[in-house]
Structure formats: C-alpha cells, structure tokens
Structure 1
Amino acid sequence: MSSDSERSPVPLRASLAIDFLVVGGGIAGLASAVALSRAGHRVLVLEKSDGLRNRRAGGVRIPPNMSKILFHWGLKSDLRRIALTSQPILFSRFEDADLLGIQLWDNELLRDTQGEFMLTTHADLHDLLYETAIGQGAKIRNNAEVVAIDCDNSSVELASGEILTADVIIGADSERGISRQTVIGQEDRGTFIGLSMFDATFSTAIATKDLTPELAQIINVEGGTVYMAFGNGCAASGYPIHQHKEVAFHFILRDDRPDGAYGDPPTGDLASRVPDPCDTRLRLVANLSTNAVRVPIKDYADLQDWIHESEKLVLVGQAAHPFPPGSIQGTAMATEDAAVLAKLFAHLSTRDQIPSFLWAYQDLRLGRCTSVRNTEVSTIAWMTMENGPEQRMRDDGMRAKFRAGKNVMEGEDGEEDAPQWEEIRTIFGYNCEDEADNWWIKWGLLREHAKETGGVRSPWRESNRFDWGNVAIRVSENVGE
C-alpha cells in the first residue's frame, strides 16, 4: 500500500452511514467498494466466482481521467508498482508494418489532467482494488452468486438460499448480469456487429524480434510504447506490461461467432481469424498465443434509466453503459461511476436523501458515459476502416505529418487537431469528482436549504429526477433578516 507521505487527504465521511450491497466483484464493484468505504459507508461485495476466474491476465490501459481518481484515493505509489507510464503511440499498417507515424503525449496536456496514461493488467488492477477495499473496511464474499433481486424489499437471494438486505443495491455485474436485467425487465443480449476482440499476452522478446531498422530507431521497448496497427476491416494494439517482460495485445477481427466472454477458457481461433497479408510479428503472436480469449463486440441500446423504479437498485460500469471490449475508457468510466456515487453519498445525513443522490448520480454520469462510449465506438470504426479512398486519405495524411516531424494526430499550424485527438483531450481532462462537488454546492445544498426553510422550491420532481424547469428562488423583502 502507499506510504504515509503519499496518502490521500482525509475524505469527507457521511454523518449517516448506510449499508450497500454490491453485486459483482470486478473492477466496477471493487472501485465502488473502495469509494463508498472511504466515504464512511458499510459495503458488502458479492462475487459469484471464486475470486480468481474474474481476474484476467490481459492488459488494461488506465487513462488520466482514471489515474487521477486512483491518485486521489492514495494509490499513486501502488500504481507505479504495478503499471508502466505510456509514452509514444506508434501507428503502422496491419498488413506489412508500414510505419504511418507516431504521437507523443503532450506534457502540458497530461499536467492539466492531473493524471497519467498508465499500462497494467486486469489481474494486477483487480488485486490492488481488492486489497484497498479490504483495507478500507469493505467486506467481500466470493462464491456468492446472486440469483434474484427483490427491489421492493431491498434484498438479494444467493444461490445458497441466503437472503441479504441493504439500504442500496449496486449492480456491478456487467451487461450480462442480473442487475441490468432487473432494471430493464428483460435480458439484454446486445447485437453482434461482426467483430470480436481477442485479448492475449505475449513475450516481449519474441513480439519485438526482427524489427525493421526504421522501427528499431523509434521503439524503445523500455519506454512504454503503445503500438497500433490499422488493417482492412481489422486492427491490433499492443503495449508493455509486467515491467516490460510481456506485451498485452488486443486484436479486433472479423468474426461470425457471437459467443464468448471474459473468463472463458482460451480460444484456438485467433490464428485462423487473422487475415493475410499480415505483419510477421502479429502473425507470430497469433500463431503461438496460448492464452487468447475471444470477446464479441456488441451494440447495446442506451438505457433511459440506470435506477430501478423502486429507487433501491442502481447500475454502475458495464451494467449501466456497456463499452466495447478492449476500449480505453470502459474501466475508467466504471471508476468514475464509483467516485461520483461516493462523492454524493459522502453528504448523506438523512435517509430521504438517498433517492435524490441516486438520480443526481445518473444525471451526472449518463450524458458523460454516452458521449465517451460513442467516441470509443467511432475509434474502432476509424481503426478498422476498410481499404478505400477514406482509408488512403487517413494513412497518407498521417505519413505526411510523420515525414514533417509532427505528431500524426495533431493539426497543421493554425488548424484544429484531428477530431479523435480533440475528443481524447476533452475526455482525459474531465474531473468527475469536481463535477459531483459542484452538483452538491449548486443543487444539493439548495435542496437541503429548501427543506429547512421552504424558501426555495426543490428542483426535484416527486420521482426525485432533476427538473430544471422547477428551479425558482423566492427573494425575501426582509433583506436585513
């Protein structure tokens, strides 16, 4: 754990502590446990697996908008122990490793975000959050599968028949879990888009063998280089993990099988799905990989509400807003969800605040997550662009900037940056905890004052959803009072 000198400031703790049941012990569930425990609440996490099956070996990228949260939670030194800091991004063609260019992180941008772009594994991040949650006082039960949620009684039933109750139930059990199904009233299988992501790790020594002289001059294996390869309807990315001893790969490939999920046994289909022609190193990884897991990419309809009508169950992470597998921001959005929930519930003083805090959470998060997910989906489409005029325009533009010694995603002098880069800058710079604090200052305190004095009509409908049209302030004529 972090040293005393790097511990976070003492967090605000709620004057009224309540009980939270978290369904799902993945990153979203553990982040929720850490955040809410820091805010003084009692948290029990229920994980259906043995605690090992939901820890996958594949890579995870931690963007600045996520790392800044973990830093604030006092985990900076722990992250530096398990993660590498990303430096340049190298772009090439999937078919032949033809170099398209490089993109260096803007140091000023990273300073402004108050975070770093870091590279680690899902298992290492999971272990860190698990240990932190336990250290904060949360309880975690493995082999505790939730088979039913009774929102009216704020309870869950385990496969063993045991009934557990809480003040609030948090659904952190993914897009396939019982929590999302309970909120929308039916199972949501999503729509397969004909692409799958294959998640694999591989030896660095083998993956970087026989580099071309051009690439050898640019790549510093010890420097945290992220590799991106664009192909005809396919793409691949790779980045160092485990202190540069391994490389995590994400292959996005055409596929006709909609089955597969994290936690499944490794598949032998990666090699057959990688098209020819192919960069010899990518082909080597595909042919020799023994731990690739297939996860189909599906499109899910946006939910109108993440909160059950009983106002006892709320969704976080993939259960609320499924991101494509392998996307940069999926894990980050789950962590932001947890941070915002905790920031709001740190102000809890009476139980009648619970519904309003839940709806405030949704109001703060739904638009943000929808926008970021749309960016991630657009990025996949941009990376897997089929060969043709648009693809050639993209590649030729990147090559021209590289030859001119420029970052390939940034605009020419006097021009705007590439849309993808502008969106990334905006996403990285967002501070979800500041947004939650601003909500409390602007509306939470106003609502509390309204309850006490009746001088301000609450901007919340009877359902506790925020209603901007109901904001009205009555000015007292007795100014001196």
Structure 2
Amino acid sequence: MSDDELSSSGARPIPSPATLALSTPRVPDMQEETTTPRPSPPQTSYPITFVIVGGGIAGLACALALRRVGHRVTVLERLERDAARGEHGVRAPPNLSKILFHWGLRDALMSKASIMDKLVFTKCECKVPNRRAFPCVTTPLLCHLPDDSSETLAEQLWDAEMLKETQGLFLMLSHPDLHDIFCDAAIQLGADVRFSSEVVEVDPPSRAVTLSSGERLSGDVLIGADGALGQCRTAVLGRRDPGSPTGLAVYDTLISLAYVSTFDPRVALKSWQCLALGGGRAAVAYPIRGFEDISFQLYAPDDAGASGCYEDAAPVDLALVTKDSGISDHLRQTVLGARKTKVIPIRQHVDLEDWVSDDGRLLLIGEAAHPFPPTTIQGTAMAVEDGAVLAKLFSHLSSAAQIESFLYAFQEIRQSRVRNVRAAELGAIAMLTADGPAAAARDASLRANAARGPGANVLEGGGSAEGVWEEYSVLFGYDCEDEADEWWVQWGRLRQRAQDRSMAADGEEPA
C-alpha cells in the first residue's frame, strides 16, 4: 500500500509522539465494567490448518485466537519454553488488555499485573562539569541524587471518562507472565505448541516448513511470527533485513526491589511509571511482579554498535557499562541489582508493501510484518491485535476459495494502523531522548502544563486538552475485532455472494 493510499484510506488519527509515552492511573470503578468477556466467538464452518513459525507473544496470541474460532494450529518455536518467555517487563495498554478481557482471560491477567496509577516525568542533569550522565529515575521510584540535580517536571493523571470508553486498563507485568497466559490458554484450547523446534526452511509454494530434525510439516496457511530477523520475513522480502541504525539502543533489565527500596522505601507503595529525561538519554521504570522487581529500560546512544534481538543478544553488566558514565553514587549502588541486561539496537526496518508471500500462503504478523522499537508500549499490543483480527476474519471461512482474500483483507485492515502507530512510537523515543533546544522546549512545556494545577494534561502541547483526550481515546479505544467485523459486513459478505453466484452459474455447489 502506497503512502497516497494510506493517506486516503480513512485511517484514524494517531496521537502526537509524546502521547505514546503515557500510562494510566488506577480506576477502581472500571474493573467490573471490563471483566465481562464477550460471548463465544462464531465458529468457522470450514476448519483449516495453520502452521505458525514463532512461539513468542505474536505467535501464541494468534494460535489462541485461531483455536477460539475452531481452526487447527501448530506453533513451532526454536527456543526452549523458558528462553522463549524472556526476562523483562512489558506494559499492556487498554487496546491490548481489553482483548484478553474479551477472551475471558481477565482473571489470569489481573493476577499477574498491576494497574498503573501515575506517570511521573523527572529531569536529571549531572552537576559534574564535562561529564555526560545517564539519567536517573528519581523520587519516588529509585533514589535521591545528593550530588546531582534532579527535578520533577510533571505528573500525569487521566480523564476517567476517556478510560471508560477504552474498555481496557493500562497494566504493567513481566513478559514471562504474559507469555505464560497466552501459551497456557492456547494449549488448553488444543493448540499444538512445540518448543525446541527450529524451522530451517520455509517453502511458501508448498505451504510447508522443514525442522532442524528433518521433519517436514505442511498446512493450509503458514504464519510467520518469528520476528524481524526470522526466516519468514526473509522469505517474503527476498532478502534479510537487518534494519538501519538510528544511533540509539535500549538497555533493558530488571532490578530487584531490595536494591531500590534501600534508597527510597516508598517505591514499595507506589504503582507508578517514571520517565527520567537527560541530555540525549532517557530511562523508563515501573514495578512488576507485585513490586518484587523494577523493570528498567535505558535509552542511550548506541556507541558500541549493538546487534541482535532479545533472544540472541548476550547479557551485559549494567553496573560495568555505567561505571564511568557520571551517574550518582546512589544509582550506581542500585544498578548493582540489575540482572540479565540486554542491549537492543533501535533500528528502522523496510516497510513491506505486502505481508503475504507472492508464491504461496505465507502471512507475516507481529515483528515479522512490522518491527517496532524495543520496549515500546504498543509493539506488543500490535502483535496481539494482529492475531485477534486474523482469527476474526477466518471465523467467517466457509470455503478454501476465501483463504487468499482473507489474508489480503488482514493486510488491508492492519497496515495503516500499524504504520501510523509505529511512526508515533519512534517519535515518542525522539521526544524522550531529545537534547539541546528540543529538550529545553519539551521540559518547558511539561513545566508550564504542570503549573496549571492538579488534573492538568501535562502533555497537551499546543492543542486543547479535549483534543488530546480524543487522541488517547482513538489509540487506546481502538477495537481491532470490531474493525475485522466491519470489513466482513461491508466487503466480505458481498464478495462471498458474488462468488456463490459465479459458482452457481458454472453449475458448481456454492460454499
């Protein structure tokens, strides 16, 4: 789809870059409203077999969604289950959490997640001349900086009515817990999930894959959910796409609360997300696992030329990396508690015109279709939305003749939303890591909006508060399954009727 087609497709507006750095507060009266799952989804009258390459969140969410509507699913993941689960934090915005609520997984999700209460912006600058500091997430989350200068720029609260409209909650939890929720639910519904099953060859024309063991599996549709560097994206693009460096990398780690609360015990009482802003750097931190750990993500220049992804990147010692970076003594003690720090480069990848292979039924989803910057809020959400939309479309499958049209319908529905959201996420990172005059303007805007008093929208920018809340509502209130149903009502039924008439005219039995 071209840029001109995107601009004329009626795609819904996406919030300004700053809005994607947000999180939501606790809204107790919303919890009951978001607990009711939707009725059981319609079941396909023509079950087919899907082979999904990749057992991360995208692959497992897709497997669960397809099993819910009656299709046969096999998931192939090259890593063992513990390795595939990862070891970092994840934020689940309302457009993600409400999908799990609709699927009847609210209790499983809420038993592992915390509702975010507040978003706090701090400014941290090192006082020592000629020393460029990593920013420090300060009061109330990590520590005080007696030798550094820190300032609370603003605190963000949310509009309760807007949150009700989204039908979801903004949650924070560990990636392993989210992975387990999808995996366990998919297996319970009958998905064949195979770990330690490495795919070494993808054959779209034959709709088959070959494993390292020599086993060959085939299906009616292949789903590529093996990431930006996986075999499926390479098969569709015709070459490997390592992406172009942006000059930034993310240091992603977990820090034990025991190390954090030594410096500020209030962290054990606060369900907050903090964003610390420093010259050309930024840090995001939030508690997970019932405040047992702090998920800590540091955006900094990619001076070492990081490579790889979460599954392949070798752990680094964050305390050693930050030793001469100018951080305060208190934070230096805190990062001693960091473990399994992964350094992931932020790269720009080629926008694929098609997510469907030209020579067979291979469809890309998640990072394989649309790589997002690591640790962003919406990356995981977009992957889960993909699975939900695909299953909703294929719940209407009544004949093999519909398969290709449904694959391209999925692409049509998803591309404009994903591309716009991804661009905004990249803009959010640019905002957080701004330096010089751009950073000064950002900080001045935050201070000015915060000065208007409690309840002010601190990221209002140059627009109205009402306009910003509307942007949030569009982003977080988006219902991907409704979007798929809308396509079926407007286009799918018409195409099916036309096909049935054509078959009848040829003397064939309609689907």
Whether TM-score is above 0.5 comes out as yes
Per the TM alignment, residue 8 of structure 1 is displaced from its structure 2 partner at its CA by: 4.3
- For residues 106-125 of structure 1, give each alpha carbon's deviation from its aligned partner in whole angstroms, at most 9, with x where no partner exists: 22111100000000011001
Per the TM alignment, residue 347 of structure 1 is displaced from its structure 2 partner at its CA by: 0.2
Counterpart code for 1:246 = D
Counterpart code for 1:389 = P
**What is the aligned partner in structure 2 of residue 392 from structure 1?**
440
**What is the aligned partner in structure 2 of residue 77 from structure 1?**
107
**What is the aligned partner in structure 2 of residue 226 from structure 1?**
273
Is the contact made by 1:311 and 1:355 (CA closer than 8 Å) also made in structure 2?
no
Number of residue pairs matched by the alignment: 443
251, 256, 273: which is aligned to 1:203?
256
Change (3 A) 1:87 1:209: same
Per the TM alignment, residue 272 of structure 1 is displaced from its structure 2 partner at its CA by: 2.5
Kindly indicate whether residue 46 of structure 2 is the aligned counterpart of residue 16 of structure 1: yes
Trace 1:85-234 onto structure 2 (pairs within 5 A).
Answer: 85-95=115-125, 96-211=149-264, 221-234=268-281
**What is the aligned partner in structure 1 of residue 369 from structure 2?**
320
Residues of 1 paired with 2:58 and 2:95: CA distance?
A: 15
- For residues 8-32 of structure 1, give each alpha carbon's deviation from its aligned partner in whole angstroms, at most 9, with x where no partner exists: 4211110000000000000000000
Change (3 A) 1:373 1:275: farther
Change (3 A) 1:100 1:422: farther
Kindly indicate whether residue 452 of structure 2 is the aligned counterpart of residue 404 of structure 1: yes
Per the TM alignment, residue 397 of structure 1 is displaced from its structure 2 partner at its CA by: 2.1
Structure 1 gaps of 5+ residues are 456-481
Per the TM alignment, residue 270 of structure 1 is displaced from its structure 2 partner at its CA by: 5.8
- For residues 15-63 of structure 1, give each alpha carbon's deviation from its aligned partner in whole angstroms, at most 9, with x where no partner exists: 0000000000000000000000001000000011111111112100000
**What is the aligned partner in structure 1 of residue 288 from structure 2?**
241
Counterpart code for 1:222 = L
Residues of 1 paired with 2:467 and 2:339: CA distance?
A: 37
Residues of 2 paired with 1:127 and 1:275: CA distance?
A: 38
More displaced, 280-289 or 301-310? 280-289
Residues of 1 paired with 2:387 and 2:286: CA distance?
A: 27
Change (3 A) 1:233 1:410: closer
**What is the aligned partner in structure 2 of residue 469 from structure 1?**
none
More displaced, 433-442 or 5-14? 5-14
Per the TM alignment, residue 260 of structure 1 is displaced from its structure 2 partner at its CA by: 3.7
TM-score by length of 1: 0.87
**What is the aligned partner in structure 2 of residue 434 from structure 1?**
482
Residues of 1 paired with 2:370 and 2:420: CA distance?
A: 11
**What is the aligned partner in structure 2 of residue 289 from structure 1?**
338
Counterpart code for 1:303 = L
Residues of 1 paired with 2:409 and 2:83: CA distance?
A: 34
Kindly indicate whether residue 359 of structure 2 is the aligned counterpart of residue 310 of structure 1: yes
DSSP-derived class of the 2:246 partner: strand
Counterpart code for 1:110 = L
Per the TM alignment, residue 285 of structure 1 is displaced from its structure 2 partner at its CA by: 3.5
Kindly indicate whether residue 316 of structure 2 is the aligned counterpart of residue 267 of structure 1: yes
Residues of 1 paired with 2:196 and 2:288: CA distance?
A: 29
Residues of 1 paired with 2:56 and 2:155: CA distance?
A: 34
**What is the aligned partner in structure 2 of residue 25 from structure 1?**
55
Change (3 A) 1:207 1:156: same
Per the TM alignment, residue 379 of structure 1 is displaced from its structure 2 partner at its CA by: 0.2
**What is the aligned partner in structure 1 of residue 394 from structure 2?**
345
DSSP-derived class of the 2:340 partner: coil
Per the TM alignment, residue 289 of structure 1 is displaced from its structure 2 partner at its CA by: 1.7
Per the TM alignment, residue 403 of structure 1 is displaced from its structure 2 partner at its CA by: 3.0
Is the contact made by 2:163 and 2:473 (CA closer than 8 Å) also made in structure 1?
no
Residues of 2 paired with 1:451 and 1:274: CA distance?
A: 67
Residues of 1 paired with 2:329 and 2:485: CA distance?
A: 51
- For residues 423-450 of structure 1, give each alpha carbon's deviation from its aligned partner in whole angstroms, at most 9, with x where no partner exists: 5442111111110000000000111121
Residues of 2 paired with 1:400 and 1:275: CA distance?
A: 34
Counterpart code for 1:345 = F
DSSP-derived class of the 2:358 partner: coil
Per the TM alignment, residue 278 of structure 1 is displaced from its structure 2 partner at its CA by: 3.7
Kindly indicate whether residue 297 of structure 2 is the aligned counterpart of residue 250 of structure 1: yes
- For residues 95-142 of structure 1, give each alpha carbon's deviation from its aligned partner in whole angstroms, at most 9, with x where no partner exists: 343100100122211110000000001100111111000011101111
Change (3 A) 1:421 1:238: farther
50, 64, 69: which is aligned to 1:39?
69
DSSP-derived class of the 2:83 partner: coil
Per the TM alignment, residue 90 of structure 1 is displaced from its structure 2 partner at its CA by: 0.4
Is the contact made by 1:89 and 1:102 (CA closer than 8 Å) also made in structure 2?
yes
- For residues 363-422 of structure 1, give each alpha carbon's deviation from its aligned partner in whole angstroms, at most 9, with x where no partner exists: 000110000000100000000001x2221121122123223324353538x952499876
Is the contact made by 1:411 and 1:418 (CA closer than 8 Å) also made in structure 2?
no
Residues of 2 paired with 1:290 and 1:366: CA distance?
A: 36
Per the TM alignment, residue 87 of structure 1 is displaced from its structure 2 partner at its CA by: 1.3
By relative contact order (CA 8 Å, sep 6+), the higher-ranking structure is: 2
More displaced, 270-279 or 341-350? 270-279
Per the TM alignment, residue 6 of structure 1 is displaced from its structure 2 partner at its CA by: 5.7
Per the TM alignment, residue 281 of structure 1 is displaced from its structure 2 partner at its CA by: 5.2
**What is the aligned partner in structure 2 of residue 52 from structure 1?**
82
Change (3 A) 1:330 1:421: farther
Residues of 2 paired with 1:270 and 1:65: CA distance?
A: 36
Residues of 2 paired with 1:15 and 1:260: CA distance?
A: 42
Is the contact made by 2:457 and 2:465 (CA closer than 8 Å) also made in structure 1?
no
Change (3 A) 1:111 1:408: closer
More displaced, 36-45 or 51-60? 51-60
More displaced, 267-276 or 170-179? 267-276
Is the contact made by 1:259 and 1:296 (CA closer than 8 Å) also made in structure 2?
yes
DSSP-derived class of the 2:78 partner: coil
- For residues 241-290 of structure 1, give each alpha carbon's deviation from its aligned partner in whole angstroms, at most 9, with x where no partner exists: 01112111111111222324213442125642587544665444334423
Is the contact made by 2:449 and 2:460 (CA closer than 8 Å) also made in structure 1?
no
Residues of 1 paired with 2:460 and 2:306: CA distance?
A: 39
Kindly indicate whether residue 493 of structure 2 is the aligned counterpart of residue 445 of structure 1: yes
Counterpart code for 1:235 = A
Structure 2 gaps of 5+ residues are 1-34, 126-148, 504-511
Per the TM alignment, residue 311 of structure 1 is displaced from its structure 2 partner at its CA by: 3.9
Change (3 A) 1:454 1:25: same
Change (3 A) 1:274 1:436: farther
Per the TM alignment, residue 199 of structure 1 is displaced from its structure 2 partner at its CA by: 1.0
More displaced, 260-269 or 373-382? 260-269
DSSP-derived class of the 1:396 partner: helix
Per the TM alignment, residue 203 of structure 1 is displaced from its structure 2 partner at its CA by: 2.1
Residues of 2 paired with 1:51 and 1:446: CA distance?
A: 43
